Amino acid sequence: MISLKHGSIGLRLLPLILVMVSCVSTLYIPEHLSPAELIQKAQEASDRNKYKQALQYYEAIIERYPSYIDEVCAAEYEIAFIHYKQRQYELAKSEFQALLSRYDSPDAELLPLQFKKLTEIVLAKIAAKEH
């Protein structure tokens, strides 16, 4: 048993233990959910500031429906935007740049344009924060 006396190792490790336990929880996402249902659930979670759940729903879209390019672009954008909102600017910047690189492909005309424009806007905000 870990002692939680003031100044003990247990008390100093408690924040680390709590972080580790919170990172382990994985949301059960039913296999039958459509991309639209996953996006809806992700948006609902995000609206409630449950970003970890939202990220898991968006990641499920990317993993389960890689050929649904509109939904994949939406999920990639939203994942990057959540990281931006969490002030994880380097991670968000990297994710936004990866999404933007999709628009340099020969199939770029098939991609939803709104995510390119939104990505460029947020990248400009990140660049302004860096200077």
The pLDDT, as a whole number, for residue 27 is 84
- For residues 121 and 113, give the distance between their C-alpha atoms in angstroms, rounded to a whole number: 13
Q: Does pTM top 0.85 for this prediction?
A: no
For 107, which DSSP code? Answer: T
- For residues 93 and 45, give the distance between their C-alpha atoms in angstroms, rounded to a whole number: 22
To the nearest whole percent, how much of the chain has pLDDT over 90?
76
Q: Where are the domains of the chain?
A: 29-130
- For residues 88 and 123, give the distance between their C-alpha atoms in angstroms, rounded to a whole number: 13
pLDDT in tens, 18-74: 544 445 468 899 999 999 999 999 999 999 999 999 999 999 999 999 999 999 999
- For residues 59 and 56, give the distance between their C-alpha atoms in angstroms, rounded to a whole number: 5
CATH number for the domain whose boundaries are 29-130:
1.25.40
